[in-house]
Structure formats: C-alpha cells, structure tokens
Amino acid sequence: MPSIEQSPAAKEADNALLISAIDLALENGTVSTALLQRRLTIGYGRAAGLIDKMEKLQVITPCNGQSARTVLLTEKEWKTLRKHLEKTTADIPRRFPIKNKCKMQEERTMICLFLANGFEETEAICPLDLMKRGGIDVKTVAVGTQDAVVTSTRGVRVIADMTLEQLDPALIEGMVLPGGLPGADNLNIPEIHQLLKRCNEQGGLIAAICAAPYVLGQQGILENKNAVCYPGFEEKLLGAKISKEPVVRDGNVITAVGMGASVAFGLALVEYLKGKEVAAQIARAIFA
C-alpha cells in the first residue's frame, strides 16, 4: 500500500497546532489529552497525536501511568524550538533520546464540585453555573450523605449528581471545594484528602473558596504557592504565601476569599479550563 505524504500546507497546519499545544503545556505546567481536547477544541485522536509528538521531542515526561504529563522544556529551549517549528515543515529532531514510550486510553473526565452539609450556597452554585455556561463537564458530588441530597448553611436543599461513594476517582480532572461552615469542615475527611492528593499529583485543577482552602493547606497542597482564604483561616494555609487578591491562581491551584468573590472565582475556573476568550465572553454576557 503506498504511503500518503502530507502537503507542505498540511505540515504547516500541524506545526501551528503543535505550537499551540506546547504553549498551553508551558502555561499550565502539565498537559493531558483531555486538556488539549478542551482548550484546542480538537478530538481525542488529534490530542493523543500531539501528546505523542511532544513526548518524542522530549517536551514532556514519558508516560508514567498518569494522565497528566509534566513539561520538561524551559522557556529558553522553547524559543529555539518554536523558531524551528515556524520556519520548517521538516521533522523536528528530539531534544534527547526517548527513554520510555507508552500510550494511555483516557476515559471522559470531569470536574467535580463537592458538596457537604453546611456548604455556602453562592460559593457553590455560582461557579457551577459559570462552568456550565462555559461548556465544561462538571458534576456535583454529595459528601457524607446516602441519598445525594445536601443541605446548605441556610437550609437550601440540593440534589447532587452523585454521592462520593458513586464517584470513580479515575475520572476526576479537577476538584472544586466551596466554603461555608460546617461545610468546609465536612469536606475535611480522609476520602477527600486522598482524592485531592491524587488529583494534584496528576496536575488536575484544585480549587477552593472561603474557608475551604484550609483543607488544601492541611494536605500540603499550598506549599510555596500564592493563596487566599476567608479572613481568620490564614494560619491553616500551611506553607502558603498569603495574597491580598480576592482570587488567586498559582499553577493548577485556584483559591478565593469568600462569597463576594464567587463570580470572579467561577470565571477564573472557566479561564483555566477553557481559556481567556471563553471566560471573557461569559463575563460580557452576565454583566451586560
């Protein structure tokens, strides 16, 4: 069977997509097929192909059984490689020899917003609404209940999409913890700690607002990161550099000060997951 050779125009288009993928990986610090699918609006096949190319170029770590790959490329190295990608359609030489290679089958992942009795209503529903407006697959997960019904601080009853026991940890791409008391305390349990550790190790989104960032702090997730919380909980953000901003993103971690920052918090989640343009479109729509 004869081989099919790409035209120069097709190779240039592929290089342009690869450049966008590497830019995204450098911005995020880690990269996965799910992230590329969502942010570049491409299918799984193309996203997996880009992951393979980045691995061959040694831009990212080899497959190690986790969905997210860590970026190996420095900004200086990327400037050199980018110039080469922009000027040629030829195959790009590897940075150094491949030591390992494997492919992963990734199931459809989702963002999980965890709800426990005593959660703050606006801190949960507002970010949930904004993420759904952004086309993000987000599911609510009831913690500490048997029937998925969770009651907020002010007595609002919410039916979650699933209970914690029904959740498959392998499908978690990001975790969002609303505040409120005793809601945040009810999320400070070993089961949530394990999920946070797993998600963080895989480079997934970790987000918390109001009192909930203290749950992250006690698990060491905020070590050497800029973060914020509701006033009075700062000492529980172990290792964090406390910010004065209402919403703070540092790498894969986003924290916010409280209910008044719920819209900004939600838009920060959308920006992280879908990009600045989508977040800006939503902001224009809701403030029109």
Active-site residue set: 210
Q: Look at the alpha carbons of 156, 162, 163, 164 in this order and tell me if their dihedral is positive or negative.
A: negative
CA distance 247 to 206: 13
**DSSP bridge partners of 247:** 256
Query: Can you give the three-state secondary structure of the chain, one letter per residue?
Result: CCCCCCCHHHHHHHHHHHHHHHHHHHHHCEECHHHHHHHHCCCHHHHHHHHHHHHHCCCECCCCCCCCEEECCCHHHHHHHHHHHHHCCCCCCCCCCCCCCCCCCCCCCEEEEEEECCCCHHHHHHHHHHHHHCCCCEEEEEECCCCCEEECCCCCEEECCEEHHHCCHHHEEEEEECCCCCHHHHHCCHHHHHHHHHHHHCCCEEEEECCCHHHHHHCCCCCCCEECCCCCCHHHCCCCEECCCCEEEECCEEEECCHHHHHHHHHHHHHHHHCHHHHHHHHHHHCC
